[in-house]
Amino acid sequence: MKIRVGYEMIYDFPQPTPMIMVLGAHFTRASDVIIPDFLTVNPPVEITPYRDGFGNWCSRIVAPAGRVRLAADGMVRDSGSPDPIVPSAVQHAVEDLPAETLVYLLGSRYCETDRLSDVAWRMFENTPPGWARVQAICDFVHNHIKFGYEHARATKTAADAFDEGKGVCRDYAHLAITFCRCMNIPARYCTGYLGDIGMPKPWAAGDFAGWFEAYLGGHWHTFDPRNNIPRIGRVLIAQGRDASDVPITQTFGPNTLVSFKVWTDEVEETV
């Protein structure tokens, strides 16, 4: 299938303001890109691209004072298949893990392994190691957290989400990531496009999504405790230790977000 992906964000800036954006389909989807979802800025300014420490493509600008529009509109090919399920994927002993995965065992800004380690072992020690253990974690998080945009908070951590039992998709991901790391399973945060392709209507307004990947059986596998079912049309944008590594936009000065739109829509094929 073909999927149209894109966004429009409109800001008001009282003064020229530096920004960093982590936007656009991840390089691992490069062969699927039909129309690139290149960032455009209006009024036009110089865009400086760079790769961060996790390999994500990022962009830097200095937004001028006044109203600024950030937008992209692209198209990617997709298999149309739901997220794979691999029950046979095994958990590795820590000493056998590749060196590049070890950072995803450690605590991070939103994933406090030190605060939740005892809880994780108490709840998941007797689950079968490997895929079943990660799925048990996702099942718990899915049932434990009540979703609601009104529960979003920039400072909310995994421990906060556990204590409060409410949050948004990134809070589901942070809590599941933290439990996985506590159980010695590398887990990394993912942000990207995820619409409602294949789901019954009515559909919610478009938004970027947060999920995670766990390292099992020599590969990174997708898990989504917010939805907790395989979904169609997931398009990765960036990966990191948690949401602090992959903010969609990071502004270095006061601003007002005036408008925010995201789309991830299946494109009808013409015969």
Say which amino acid occupies 48.
Answer: T
Confidence (pLDDT) at 201: 81
Q: Check whether residue 34 and residue 103 sit in a common domain.
A: no
Q: Is residue 189 part of a domain?
A: yes
Assess if residue 88 is contained within a domain: no
Q: Which residue in 167, 173, 168, 159 sits closest to 214, CA to CA?
A: 173
157 and 130 belong to one structural domain? yes
Q: Report yes or no on 68 lying in a domain.
A: yes
**SS3 at position 125:** coil
Within a domain: 85 = no
180 lies in the same domain as 227: yes
Tell me how many domains the chain contains: 2
Closest to 221 (Cα-Cα) out of 126, 107, 134, 108: 134
Is there a contact between 159 and 179 (Cβ–Cβ < 8 Å)?
Answer: no
Give the pLDDT confidence score for residue 76 in this predicted structure.
97
pLDDT, one tens digit per residue, over 151-205 is 999 999 999 999 999 999 999 999 999 999 999 999 999 999 999 999 988 788 7
**Strand ranges inside the chain, DSSP E:** 2-13, 17-21, 33-35, 40-42, 48-51, 57-63, 66-77, 146-147, 166-167, 187-193, 208-216, 219-223, 235-240, 249-251, 256-267
Structural domain of 40: 2-80+248-267
3-state class (DSSP) for residue 107: coil
128, 34: one domain? no
Average pLDDT of the chain to the nearest whole number: 96
